[in-house]
């Protein structure tokens, strides 16, 4: 293989297609330029490659490199170093992403394992079916038929366990006779990842009505979860079935040097790489126009969830519905009637590509983002759990009635870094605005680094890491990750004005009161050793009232001390809350409104 000196990578999102050009400069790979254009998967274009070509044209203009030929095809380098590219890769979540239904015997066990497998493979879960989910069989059949998923993952039973319940699930699929969302005359892909003793019975029941793939059991025993084979099968079927049916993907796939990877799967790969290389616990979010994806690595365990219909353009009214107007309003630092708030969000939904034009528009959008991030994070915590039902299981009958016992793996006090990406976070006018949104939505505890994906290139770097890990790592470290700085957030509650902690920096003691945000100047790459002595009722990692000495690092925002308490509780009275929000904005150097 010849030396790779130039790499073009695109990400086709639900709203925008992004293209980046990476070039080898001296001995390292660096980001050269970036271009973007509206995604063209819908009418009147119905061809994703139109948006790709438009984004690449912008890269050509900015870089002075001729990448496309007269027919709009990507060219390879000639003797001229300013022509073509050595490598072209792409990711995509356009066309609504991979929509899956998962089925299991027990909702709190096999069905939840199936969810984790599908979510980790980049899917949007549109329904979870289980024998014990409380619905009648005809309701489940109708639901499968109406939703028309791209793929179904069926699981359940430990190896040597129940067969009858798995045959019931197969019979339900036969009765529903679901047709895939995309493609005509195509058999629906079904992955069976349950009890190996039930494989033949399931195969006989389904017959040739579906494209059946059999993989190893997701839960071969109660205390073992084996997600890898099912995830690999999902990836394979996505390339073979789903991608090929979407408008223009066949053409785009022929252009790339590796298979098109789903955007969430690509982001997950780069997040896992970061956590492994730095030996840290990481939480990352990608908030898009239609969905919000949350990724976490705690103790080397990777989890990903996608919250379908929690987004900032197409799905902004879904955020309004799920969060409620009052929860969005609590983050707006000025008075706004509820009717006006609702109308602004409806306008955004019917004009999804518009961006805020005034500071008021921006503050409203950022208030919505806080709620979308919070709701998606709650969803993530509910699924990123230890295995359920291990200790008190005796029989399938017991499984049907037992309570969920899994503990969430997300421990905020153990979290080392939070990374934000997606338009509303990556493109916020000021770094402090992004840090502030993440601070309110995630409420980190103890000492945590806040960072963002500079121009939203984690998907492209994720797919690049599978082909050229060295280039992906170098660009990620030097051009992608922008650190805002550490945040110190004691856990506990008190009355406004009460003493929360004393922080010693450079032999100077500073006291902090309850209910405040404080920004301490600390530059990018600058580090300080600090001693944090919390008050008796507060904890920063060593226990209530126990001091912690650690090293903090600055960034584009600085060192933030958040003594607003955990959990964060905002004043219920608007007349008290708005001045407080304005005070916190000012503490981070931000204007709350134009006034």
pLDDT-derived band of residue 182, with 50, 70 and 90 as boundaries?
A: low
Which residues are bridge partners to 24 per DSSP? 29
pLDDT at residue number 175: 93
User: What pLDDT digit, counting tens, does each position of 384-402 carry?
Assistant: 877 765 443 333 333 333 3
Sheet order of strands, 301-308 included: 301-308, 291-298, 282-287, 417-421, 446-453, 481-489, 559-562, 517-520
pLDDT tier at 240 (50, 70, 90 boundaries)? low
d(CA 267, CA 304): 10
Average pLDDT for the chain: 88
Q: What is the DSSP string of 190-215?
A: EEEEE-GGGHHHHHHHHTTSSEEEE-
pTM for the model stands at 0.81
- Predicted confidence (pLDDT) at residue 17 exceeds the cutoff of 60: yes
Confidence of residue 490 (pLDDT cuts 50, 70, 90): very high
Give the three-class secondary structure for 3.
Answer: coil
How many angstroms separate the Cα of 543 from the Cα of each of 233, 445, 536, 546, 562?
45, 12, 9, 5, 18
3-state secondary structure string across 94-118: HHHCEEEEEEECCCCCHHHHHHHHH
User: Residues near 1 by Cβ (< 8 Å), separated by ≥ 6?
Assistant: none
Instruction: State residue 97's pLDDT score.
Output: 62
pLDDT band, very low/low/confident/very high, at 244 (cuts 50, 70, 90)? low
- For residues 170-189, one letter each, b for 16 or more C-beta atoms within 10 angstroms of the residue's C-beta and e for the rest, the string is bebbeebebebbbeeeeebb
The whole-number pLDDT of residue 522 equals 96
Nearest to 423 by CA among 98, 32, 90, 38: 38
- The pLDDT of residue 388: 60
How far is Cα 585 from Cα 575, in angstroms, rounded to an integer? 16
435 exposure class (CB count in 10 Å sphere: 0-12, 13-18, 19+): buried
Helix (H) or strand (E) holding 530: strand 527-534
Name the nearest CA neighbour of 150 among 244, 260, 266, 289: 244
pLDDT tens track for 438-469: 999 999 999 999 999 888 889 999 999 989 98
Predicted pLDDT of residue 306: 80
The pLDDT tens digits for 185-202 are: 678 899 999 999 999 999
What pLDDT does 243 receive?
62
Taking CA atoms, 259 is separated from 27, 42, 242, 254, 444, in Å, by 28, 22, 13, 9, 37
d(CA 120, CA 80): 42
| SS3 sequence of 35-68 | EEEECCCCCCCCCHHHHHHHHHHHHHHHHCCECE
Question: Which of these, 112, 126, 95, lies nearest to 290 by C-alpha position?
Answer: 95
Please count the other Cβ atoms lying within 10 Å of the Cβ belonging to residue 278.
Answer: 11
User: pLDDT, tens digit, for every residue of 516-562?
Assistant: 999 999 999 999 999 999 999 999 999 999 999 999 999 999 999 99
| Inter-residue contact 487 to 562 (CB < 8 Å) | yes
E strands, 334-421, in order: 417-421
Q: Alpha-carbon distance 147 to 243, whole Å? A: 18
- The answer to whether the CB of 94 falls within 8 A of the CB of 119 is no
Q: CB–CB of 124/151 below 8 Å?
A: no
Residues 287, 288, 294, 300, Cα dihedral to 10° = -100
Mean per-residue pLDDT for 166-176?
Answer: 93
pLDDT tens, position by position, 78-123? 766 678 999 999 998 766 567 889 999 998 888 888 988 888 776 7
Within 8 A by CB and 6+ apart from 156, the residues are 103, 104, 105, 106, 110, 111, 131, 162, 165, 166, 169, 194, 195, 219
Q: Which two tokens stand for residue 446?
A: 């103890």
- Do 580 and 515 touch, CB atoms closer than 8 A? yes
Separation of CA 555 from chain center: 23
Identify the burial level of 505 via C-beta atoms within 10 angstroms of its C-beta, where 0-12 means exposed, 13-18 middle and 19 or more buried: middle
pLDDT score of 1: 47
379, 305 contact by CB (below 8 A): yes
Q: Among 31-45, 334-348, 355-369, 415-429, where is mean pLDDT lowest?
A: 31-45
**Domains of the chain (ranges plus CATH)?**
6-85 (3.30.420.40), 96-249 (3.40.50.280), 266-303+409-587 (no CATH)
Q: Which contiguous run of DSSP H or E holds residue 126?
A: strand 123-130
Residue spans of beta strands (DSSP E) within 348-464: 417-421, 446-453
What is the per-residue pLDDT for 81?
A: 67
CA atoms of 443 and 16, how far apart (whole Å): 29
Residues paired with residue 492 on neighbouring β-strands, in sequence order: 566
pLDDT above 50: residue 11: yes
Distance of CA 212 to the CA centre of its chain: 29
Q: Is the pLDDT of residue 226 over 60?
A: yes
State whether residue 139 is helix, strand or coil.
Answer: helix
pLDDT at 101: 92
**Residue 96: what pLDDT?**
58
Residue 394 dihedral angles phi and psi, to the nearest 5°: -125, -35
* Residue percentage of the chain with pLDDT more than 70: 93
């Amino acid at each position: 293989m010849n030396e790779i000196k130039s790499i073009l990578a695109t990400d086709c999102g639900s709203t925008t297609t992004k293209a980046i050009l990476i070039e080898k400069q001296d001995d390292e790979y660096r980001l050269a330029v970036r271009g973007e254009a509206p995604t063209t998967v819908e009418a009147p274009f119905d061809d994703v490659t139109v948006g790709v070509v438009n984004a690449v044209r912008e890269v050509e203009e900015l870089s002075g490199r001729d990448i496309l030929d007269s027919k709009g095809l990507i060219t390879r380098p000639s003797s001229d170093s300013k022509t073509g590219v050595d490598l072209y890769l792409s990711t995509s979540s356009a066309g609504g992403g991979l929509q899956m239904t998962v089925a299991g015997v027990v909702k709190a066990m096999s069905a939840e394992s199936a969810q984790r497998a599908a979510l980790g493979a980049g899917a949007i879960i549109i329904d979870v079916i289980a024998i014990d989910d409380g619905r009648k069989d005809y309701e489940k059949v109708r639901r499968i038929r109406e939703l028309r998923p791209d793929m179904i993952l069926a699981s359940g039973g430990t190896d040597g366990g129940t067969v009858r319940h798995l045959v019931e699930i197969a019979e339900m699929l036969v009765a529903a006779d679901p047709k895939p969302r995309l493609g005509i005359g195509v058999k629906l892909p079904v992955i069976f990842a349950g009890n190996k003793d039930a494989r033949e019975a399931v195969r006989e029941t389904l017959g040739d009505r579906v494209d059946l793939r059999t993989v190893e059991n997701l839960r071969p025993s109660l205390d073992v979860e084996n997600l890898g084979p099912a995830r690999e099968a999902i990836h394979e079927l996505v390339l073979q079935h789903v991608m090929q049916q979407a408008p223009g993907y066949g053409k785009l796939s022929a252009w790339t040097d590796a298979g098109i990877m789903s955007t969430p799967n690509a982001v997950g790969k780069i997040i896992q790489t970061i956590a492994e290389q730095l030996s840290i616990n990481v939480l990352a979010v990608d908030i898009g126009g239609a969905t919000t994806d949350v990724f976490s690595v705690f103790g080397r365990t990777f989890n990903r969830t996608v919250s379908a219909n929690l987004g900032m353009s197409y799905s902004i009214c879904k955020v309004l519905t799920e969060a409620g107007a009052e929860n969005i309003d609590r983050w707006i630092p000025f008075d706004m009637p509820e009717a006006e708030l609702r109308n602004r969000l409806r306008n955004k939904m019917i004009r999804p590509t518009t961006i805020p034009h005034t500071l008021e528009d921006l503050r409203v959008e950022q208030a919505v983002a806080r709620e979308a991030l919070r709701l998606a994070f709650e969803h993530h915590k509910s699924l990123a759990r230890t295995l359920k039902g291990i200790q008190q299981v005796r029989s399938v009958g017991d499984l049907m009635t037992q309570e969920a016992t899994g503990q969430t793996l997300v421990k905020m006090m153990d979290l080392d870094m939070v990374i934000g990406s997606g338009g509303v976070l990556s493109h916020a006018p000021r770094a402090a605005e992004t840090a502030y949104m993440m601070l309110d939505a995630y409420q980190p505890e103890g000492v945590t680094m806040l960072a963002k994906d500079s121009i939203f290139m984690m998907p492209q770097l994720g797919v690049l890491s599978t082909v050229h890990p060295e280039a992906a790592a170098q660009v990620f470290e030097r051009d992608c990750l922008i650190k805002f700085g550490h945040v110190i957030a004691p856990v506990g509650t008190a009355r406004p004005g009460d003493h929360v902690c004393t922080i010693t920096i450079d032999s100077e003691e500073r006291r902090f009161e309850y209910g405040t945000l404080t920004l301490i100047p600390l530059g990018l790459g600058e580090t300080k050793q600090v001693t944090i002595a919390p008050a008796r009722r507060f904890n920063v990692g060593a226990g209530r009232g126990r001091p912690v000495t650690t090293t903090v690092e600055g960034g584009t925002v600085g060192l933030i001390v958040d003594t607003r308490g955990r959990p964060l509780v905002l004043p219920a009275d608007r007349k008290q809350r708005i001045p407080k929000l304005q005070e916190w904005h000012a503490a981070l150097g931000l204007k709350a409104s134009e006034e």
